[in-house]
Amino acid sequence: MNFEKVIIALDFSSEREAFRIVEELGEDIGFYKVGLELFCSCGPSIVKRLKDLGKKVFLDLKFHDIPNTVSRALNVCLQYDIDMLTLHGFGGEQMLRVSAKMKREVVKMSASTKLIAVTVLTSLDEKDLYNLGINISVHEIVKRLSSLAKDCGLDGVVSSARELPIIKEICGRDFLVVTPGIRSSEDLAYDQKRVVSAREALTMGADYLVIGRAVTSSPSPRNSLRRIFTS
């Protein structure tokens, strides 16, 4: 079974826990997500260790601040030879443009590094947005943020597969869509609301699937990974 479109989320607080999963999945998985918890616990060394093993790294820090602060933080992170990095689309046009410009200007940056914008977290739905005073649909927000990210020079977005068709329609097939919230029909949704199956996401055109607790909290991560793609 080919898992080249799968990114496993190492949502742990220790290097030991993270590399237990990396070791168990072995050659099946070549791409891992390092998020806030693991990066705050281990720092850049966790990225280096994964890269030394020949793995790709998705550094999911979701930068969202004033343009100068994000640009400077991005400048540091691009030195780590990462393969993918996230910003929040809600940071706005100037933040996204400055970030894309920084990516182009960093000499030591790997040419393959992808800069992607988070649209609407899969833990949010229309009710959550309404409580924040946002009275337009998730679908419309994702559409607007995806168009903005493309216009600003980013490589793609993070979005639920439910919005995937419209993103590909307005931004083109080459614009990356990274899809979290992947579950099998038997898995718990945990704190995520807009979840889909792996088959659905791939059928809709997802470029990468981010899978976390459905695999990493399992007694048998490898078996759970295979079940996600067969259920």
**What residues act catalytically?**
62
**CA distances, 44 to each of 29, 51, 81, 88 (Å):** 21, 11, 11, 21
Q: SS3 for the chain, per residue?
A: CCCCCEEEECCCCCHHHHHHHHHHHHHHCCEEEECHHHHHHHCCHHHHHHHHCCCEEEEEEEECCCHHHHHHHHHHHHHHCCCEEEEEHHHCHHHHHHHHHHHHHCCCCCCCCEEEEECCCCCCCHHHHHHCCCCCCHHHHHHHHHHHHHHCCCCEEECCHHHHHHHHHHHCCCCEEEECCECCCCCCCCCCCCCECHHHHHHHCCCEEEECHHHHCCCCHHHHHHHHCCC
Q: Helices 67-77 and 93-105 meet at what angle, rounded to 10?
A: 30
Distance CA 33, CA 45 (A): 14
- C-beta atoms surrounding 4 within 10 Å: 10
